[in-house]
């Protein structure tokens, strides 16, 4: 077997007497490594974890309000809830726009108040796969909020101090786009949003 390496490409020349299993494995490896401009992009994983000075209930109420996403999320051009948002599972359509790209997709949203908001794309021309997960974990074992003050008192405010409560916000996004062009655009969007 003779392997020739060129910038960005792997060419394998097999000796005609090499075992068939080895030939197949190397051909498979070569196909994986030589991607054209129009091939399907690799899956992406984005994670974020941060302590925030708000209760789980406060953060959950913002993230679970999918119908309002267009008013505060960058690059979100439309957000419509298609089912009953008071239930623990509903569908929602989101529109995204960036540099001439304008697409809509539908996700199935699952909520577990006040600790989880998860969404999976179910109807989309843009994604091979898209799943987002927001988790909210109370700090010091409390959820905080208006009825979550010290000793169960009903005192509280819309914002609680870090020392008093807050929560750990964890975000996960698993995504694979169908187009390399859209994937390159997404990389720019992630850089812009992360820098804010």
118 vs 111: CA distance, rounded Å: 6
121 vs 111: CA distance, rounded Å: 15
Query: Per residue in 84-139, pLDDT tens?
Result: 988 999 999 999 998 888 999 999 999 999 999 999 999 999 999 999 999 999 99
Query: Per residue in 123-133, pLDDT tens?
Result: 999 999 999 99
CB 137 within 8 A of CB 171: no
10 Å CB burial of residue 9 (0-12, 13-18, 19+) is exposed
pTM: 0.68
């Amino acid at each position: 077997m003779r392997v020739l390496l060129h910038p960005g490409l792997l060419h394998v020349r097999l000796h005609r007497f090499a075992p068939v299993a080895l030939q197949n494995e190397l051909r498979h490896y070569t196909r994986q490594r030589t991607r054209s401009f129009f091939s399907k992009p690799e899956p992406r994983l984005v994670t974020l974890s941060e302590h925030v000075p708000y209760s789980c209930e406060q953060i959950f109420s913002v993230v679970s309000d999918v119908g309002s996403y267009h008013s505060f999320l960058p690059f979100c051009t439309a957000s419509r809830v298609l089912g009953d948002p008071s239930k623990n599972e509903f569908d929602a359509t989101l529109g995204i726009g960036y540099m001439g790209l304008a697409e809509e997709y539908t996700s199935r949203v699952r909520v577990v108040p006040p600790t989880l908001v998860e969404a999976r794309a179910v109807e989309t021309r843009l994604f091979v796969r898209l799943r987002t997960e927001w988790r909210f974990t109370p700090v010091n074992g409390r959820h905080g909020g208006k009825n979550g003050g010290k000793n169960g008192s009903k005192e509280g405010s819309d914002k609680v101090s870090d020392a008093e409560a807050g929560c750990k916000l964890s975000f996960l996004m698993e995504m694979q786009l169908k187009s390399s062009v859209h994937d390159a655009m997404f990389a720019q969007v992630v850089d812009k949003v992360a820098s804010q």
